[in-house]
Structure 1
Amino acid sequence: MRRVVPVVPLLAVGAFAIGTDTFVVAGVLPEVARTLRVSVASAGWVSTVFALAYAVAAPVLGALTGRLERRTVLAISLVGFTLGNVASALAPDLPLLLLARVLTAVSAALYVPAASASAAALAPPERRGRAMAVVLGGLSAATVVGVPFGTWVAADLQWRVTFWLLAAVGAACAVAVAVGLPALRLPSGPGLAVRLAPVRETRVGLAVLTTALFMTGGYLALTYVGALLAPATDGDGTVLAVLLLVFGVPAVAGTVLGGRATDRWGALPVLLVAVAGLAVVLATLPLTRQALVPAGLAMAVWGVTAMATQPAQQHRLFAIAPGSGPLLLSLNSSATFVGIALGGFLGNRLLRHGGVDALDLLGPVGAALCVLALCTALLGARTGNRPDRPVGAAGEPARPAPDGAATGASPR
């Protein structure tokens, strides 16, 4: 076991790099547009293509690589991640940058679930939850440290340097995994058809649609946050990095508060309050983005409300079908990235047709999508004889848990 001790933090570093790579583009988008001589709307495809590739690849690669040895899977994913970032840093034009982002996204989609599963398998049974939390904590840390740092680097040096740094971290992790991770095989996971089967449950479909809607609403604005907050930052990348830090720290707090509130008051009330709060933030962005202080307050509330949705939504999915919990969370992850992709795409359409003036529409349109998410959440809760009643693996109703109590394993 002594050989395994440093492995879990190592896997978390890889998750940190991937989390930073996933979200940092929003902060460097104006610089990417200027360097490649394209509009901000066109540069938004960099985020959209990454998210869409991740959403499609995650369940497919999970099914195709389930029988492979984990060290091999992790090493391959990190090598692909490294090459994707090298290609991103070297890309001379937008089409080649988009191809590079596809390679990076596919590699990231392979790494995260494999790293979480490996951490759990390598830890003693009584420490498996904490081991998985350490790995996933790398993703959370990316929003607090990685994204603001990457944005600051892009502002003071160049956006390509951010991708070079991520490539260096990926390469170091690949070598460390190949040398330090013991050979590990896990029981074969279910095939792709089995992974997608739970969607036939109406409440599952509505829950996943809810995630896609509020993520689309949020990322309609967040994808273009650099341009959106330009009146408050005067185009200063360092100030933008500070605002992203103001977003990231409350985002982590929002995850914790959302989990505790879910345990106390139940998943649906917390989800409704969080999504409603997110809608208010987005609807008022045309006002708050004009000056630094209101923009900072908006980013802080945005971070809390956006991330408070996650524990509540994951809890709801576990409660719907405890026996299929991991599969449902995989689908929810795909819905998250579908939402990120759609947000970038819809924002692109708005900016392409409306120009700079359309920046004021991004928040309100996103708020409208969050209102639709509230409707689908309520509809899902009312589906069936008992709202949010757990469904067993065979589709039979399970014994309902007391109000506010967790059903099945905790997703946090």
Structure 2
Amino acid sequence: MARTRSILPVLPVLAVGAFAIGTDTFVVAGVLPEVARDLTSSLAEVGWVSTVFALTYAVLAPVLGALTGRLRRRTVLVISLVVFALGNAASAVAPGLAPLLAARVVTAAGAALYIPAASASAAALSAPERRGRAMAVVLGGLSAATVAGVPFGTWLAADTGWRSTFWLLAGLGALCAGAVAVGLPEVRLPAAPGLAARLAPVRDARVLFTVLTTLSFMTGGYLTLTYIGAVLTPATDGDGTTLALLLLVFGVLAVGGTMLGGRATDRWGPTPVLLGSVAGLAAVLATLPLTRDRLLTAVIAMAAWGFTAMATQPPQQHRLFTIAPASGPLLLSLNSSATFAGISLGGFIGGLVTAHGGPDGLDRLGPYGAGLAALAVATALIGVRAKGPAGQAEPAAKAPERSEPAERTS
């Protein structure tokens, strides 16, 4: 118990770093029109600012996770936050679209390295029976960004210019780097003997189906969420303030889903929590054509959507970390990569549906997303029953075995 208490001050620091990265990820959509005007580019051209970030994150997350798996977590986290801060500073002073895109690549590299490393650190520093809650604190920073960071960053950009938002993120990243350098105990995961050994779990069927599960439900969710303003127009009458309040409901419940998902994972294990949350997400999306016409039902739908969508994350990370703790950074990076690939793929598929679906295109987004969420339930079940390299299935995690503490030095 003392071991758990000793890391409590560290977890909020890791969560603040995740908050900065979450804000950086999602706030860009709110400042794109101003960026387009300032850089004399079209909205379609500056749309690449978001796309390049997501694609860079998806590609680099597993690569950087593999290359840094043997380094101490504090070193990795400080490097990632410094790179993140420098990328945002470069974004703030970018004189044109091409330099801005290059800066976003740098920023995404720092983000891709940070989130898996922070989650792995939280897991390694916590007792196994509290691992889900510890990882949920870090993920809660990402969820909180949708509640506070994105609205504030969007307001700041509107009031003082889009560059000030990136300066704010650069400063927050630098502060977090200093806090991690001073406050995080040294953590070295039980390392595999070499890069090849750390990459070995990637061939594990349990890992494959876990990552496919994340890709499926993230694609299904963002197939609709990317176009949520248009989807909810019947309920909001096109009023931006009403839409902002609905997104606030989504964000608040997303934070609650993350935290309760972590606690539920510790109590009942990752599998039932994952299956329940993904099934709930499928139900929300399937019924969206029925709930998007009235404000009250839209509020209920957005609340349920935020809760179920983010309750999926702690059990997924817990499953991957449990399969191979020595390769935890790499496996969590694969999950992050699948998350961002799903965001990009969902937006792309959703655009095709709205463009070619005729007058009923927006009504089709929810059911199509529900179909992908149902596919995620299927891949999750297959992953649970899959055998590892030595023939072992996924461990029952209701009461995880207490592992040896990760190596720590003061």
The count of aligned residue pairs is: 394
Instruction: Tell me if 1:298 matches 2:301.
Output: yes
> 2-side partners of 1:329 and 1:353: how far apart?
36
Task: Find the residue that maps to 1:24 and give its secondary structure.
Answer: helix
Q: The residue matched to 1:395 in structure 2 has which SS?
A: coil
2:51 is paired with a residue whose SS is: helix
Supply the AA of the counterpart residue of 2:218.
M
Shift of 1:217: 0.9
Distance 2:253 2:219 in 1: 20
Asked if the contact 2:139/2:258 (under 8 Å) is kept, the reply is no
- When normalised by structure 1's length, the TM-score is 0.76
Partner of residue 111 from structure 2, selected from 95, 100, 108:
108
CA contact under 8 A between 1:217 and 1:343: conserved in structure 2? yes
1:278 aligns with 2:281: yes
Residue matched to 2:400: 407
* Paired residue type of 2:332: L
User: Paired residue for 1:395?
Assistant: 390
Mapped to 2, the partners of 1:100 and 1:236 lie a distance apart of 34
Matching residue within 373, 376, 383 for 1:373: 376
> Cα offset for 1:80?
2.5
Q: Which amino acid aligns with 1:211?
A: T
Tell me the distance in 1 between the aligned counterparts of 2:9 and 2:384: 43
Residue aligned with 1:81, SS: helix
Superposed displacement of residue 97, structure 1: 4.0
Deviations 1:126-154 (A, max 9, x none): 99968766555433432332233334445
> Which aligned pairs between 1:56-205 and structure 2 lie closer than 5 A?
56-66=59-69, 73-91=76-94, 96-115=99-118, 135-154=138-157, 159-174=162-177, 180=182, 186=188, 189-190=191-192, 191-205=194-208
Among 22, 25, 28, the residue aligned to 1:25? 28
Whole-angstrom distance in 2 between the partners of 1:216 and 1:56: 16
How far has the Cα of 1:360 moved from its partner? 4.1
Give 1:304 deviation, angstroms.
1.1
Identity of aligned residues (%): 70
Q: Relative to 1, partners in 2 of residues 1:372 and 1:47: Cα closer, same or farther, differing over 3 Å?
A: farther
Q: In 1, Cα distance between the equivalents of 2:299 and 2:244?
A: 11
Name the residue aligned to 2:219: 216
- Measured at CA, do residues 286 and 73 of structure 1 come closer, stay the same or move farther in structure 2, by a change above 3 Å? same
Rounded to whole Å, the distance in 2 between the matches of 1:263 and 1:177 is 26
For the pair 1:362 / 2:357, whether they are aligned, the reply is no
Aligned 8 A contact 2:223 2:365 in 1? yes
Contact between 2:10 and 2:184, CA under 8 Å: does it hold in 1?
A: no
Closer/same/farther in 2, CA of residues 67 and 374 from structure 1, 3 Å limit: closer
Aligned partners of 1:29 and 1:226 also within 8 Å: no
| 1:332 matches 2:335 | yes
User: What letter corresponds to residue 340 of structure 2 in structure 1?
Assistant: F
| TM-score, structure 2 normalization | 0.76
What value does the CA root-mean-square deviation take over the aligned residues?
4.2
Q: Counterparts in 2 of 1:206-355, with a 5 A limit?
A: 206-230=209-233, 232-233=235-236, 237-262=240-265, 267-317=270-320, 327-350=330-353
Measured against aligned partners, the alpha-carbon deviations of 1:65-114 in whole angstroms (never above 9, x if no partner) come to 34556665444433322232234445566555443322211111222344
Opposite residue 333 of structure 1, the aligned amino acid is S
Secondary structure class of the residue paired with 2:392: coil
Say which is worse superposed, 184-193 or 95-104, in terms of deviation.
184-193
- Distance change >3 Å, CA 382–CA 399, structure 1 → 2: closer
Using the alignment, how far apart are the partners of 1:30 and 1:360 within structure 2?
27
Contact 1:26 1:224 in 2 (8 A): no
Secondary structure at the counterpart of residue 142 of structure 2: helix
Query: For residues 406 and 54 of structure 1, what CA distance do their matches in structure 2 show?
Result: 34
CA offset at residue 301 of structure 1?
0.8
Aligned counterpart, 2:408? none
Q: How far did 1:189 drift?
A: 4.3
Contact 1:48 1:344 in 2 (8 A): no
SS at match of 1:362: helix
* Unmatched runs of 5 consecutive residues or more in structure 1: 385-390
In structure 2, distance between residues paired with 1:215 and 1:230: 23
- 1:388 corresponds in structure 2 to none
- Alpha-carbon distance, 1:163 to partner: 2.6
Give the 3 Å change call, closer, same or farther, for CA 138–350 of structure 1 in structure 2. same
* Amino acid in the other structure paired with 2:392: P
1:195–1:236 CA distance, 2 compared to 1 (3 A) = farther
